[in-house]
Amino acid sequence: MGITHIVLFRFKSIVSPEAIQDVSTRFVALKGSCIHPTSNNPYIKSVSGGTDNSPEGFQGGITHAFVVEFESAEDRDYYVNDDPAHEEFKKLVGPFIEKAQVVDFTNGVFN
């Protein structure tokens, strides 16, 4: 079953809108730059993201959300632990982020 990987960021207040746009664009571009070591093909099913616009008021300071979909837990695990493109992205984004939260789930599995 597929895995949905949700990443939530609060950017530091000193980060410019241009830098936030650049980081966000690079995040979404991981769909094409993360290459599976066996198939040598991109393995991320989809990446989407945007700036929070919820009127509910429960964001806890989170400003941006990204959703990454994987075909399998194995693909997600490779992405999280070993993918060189993802590792480079984490190094890039680190200095800009005040807070990050990550939640993964398999659709329909509640136990």
Query: Mean pLDDT over all residues of the chain?
Result: 96
Q: What is the pLDDT of residues 60-95, one digit of tens each?
A: 999 999 999 999 999 999 999 999 999 999 999 999
In the chain the domains, ranked by start, together with CATH numbers, are: 3-52+62-104 (3.30.70.100)
The model's pTM is 0.93
* Spacing of C-alpha 111 from chain mean position: 24
Q: Please identify which residue in the block is written with the tokens 């979909």.
A: 69
- Amino acid identity, residue 67? V
